[in-house]
Amino acid sequence: MGFAPGMMLAGTALGAFGEYQAGQDQSAMAEYNAKVQEREAQAAEQKAMIESRRQAAEAARQMSTLRARMGASGVISTTGAPLEIQAEQARQSELENAMIGYEGVTEAQRLRSGAAQTRYAGKVAKQASRIKAGTTLLTGFGKAYGEF
Residue 136 clears pLDDT 70, i.e. is over it: yes
Question: Could you give the CA distance from residue 20 to residue 14 in angstroms, rounded to a whole number?
Answer: 10
Model confidence at 2: pLDDT above 80: no
Taking residues 33-42, report their average pLDDT.
97
Domain boundary assignment for the chain: 3-147
At 126, the pLDDT band (50, 70, 90 cuts) reads very high
Residue range 45-62: mean pLDDT, rounded: 96
